[in-house]
Structures are given as structure tokens and as C-alpha cells.
Amino acid sequence: MAIHTDRLSDPAVRAFVAAVNAHDEEAFRGLLTPDATMADDGSERDISDWADREIFSSHGHMDVTKESDGGRALLADYRNDAWGEMRTRWSFTVEDDGRISRFETGQA
């Protein structure tokens, strides 16, 4: 069963999931530090290219099913128009200012 976005523990991660599901590119980018990095299935990716392809142009959506590490590690059913639906894992590094400096995702 999915955890409602409003109930996610970490404020930055909660805002990240909300931005992804609303396809709010401006909010998404505002959550990241200027030098933020990411990896997908262990490979480093350019956040802008990846987010456009995997979230915004393909209508990505996260249904979080489990959280751990104080809300900074998630299991989610992720779907988009490119890949359909898959079980994914997500982990986030959140800085003291509340912005995300790194996230990693991949199939769970």
C-alpha cells in the first residue's frame, strides 16, 4: 500500500516526490543544490537530461511503499510513459539548508 506523500518523514524528500508527481519542473529544480548529482542503476547521469526524459516528458509518477533512514531512503512503484511501471529504490542526501545534493535511484 502506498504512503501518502504528505506523510513522508523528510521534508525535502516529501517535496521531491510531490514535485515529481505534479510534474513541477521549477519546484523540482528548486529542491536541488546547484551542484547536485545523481545516479540511475549505479551510473552517473546528468540531472537535467535524466529528469526531462524520466520524469517530465514521460509523465513520471512515484507511489512510495516504504521509507527508511529517517525518510531519506524510499521504495516506490515508479511509472512513466517510457518504461511502464517498476519497483524502484531511491536514496537522498539532504544538506543543512534542506536542499538535495544527491539522489540515487534504480530498480529494487
**pTM to 2 decimal places:** 0.96
User: Rounded mean pLDDT of 14-38?
Assistant: 98
pLDDT top residue among 2 and 16: 16
pLDDT top residue among 99 and 83: 99
| Rounded CA separation 62/55 (Å) | 10
**5-107 to CATH, choices 3.10.450.50, 3.40.640.10, 3.40.710.10, 3.30.1180.20:** 3.10.450.50
Residue 1 has pLDDT above 90, yes or no: no
Report pLDDT for 13: 98
User: Rounded mean pLDDT of 4-24?
Assistant: 97
Report pLDDT for 12: 98
For 62-99, b/e burial (b = at least 16 CB within 10 A) is bbbeebeeebbbbbbebbbeeeeeeebbbbbebeeeeb
Report pLDDT for 5: 96
| Domain ranges across the chain | 5-107
Q: Using one digit for the tens of pLDDT, what is the confidence trace for 45-96?
A: 999 999 999 999 999 999 999 999 999 999 999 999 998 999 999 999 999 9
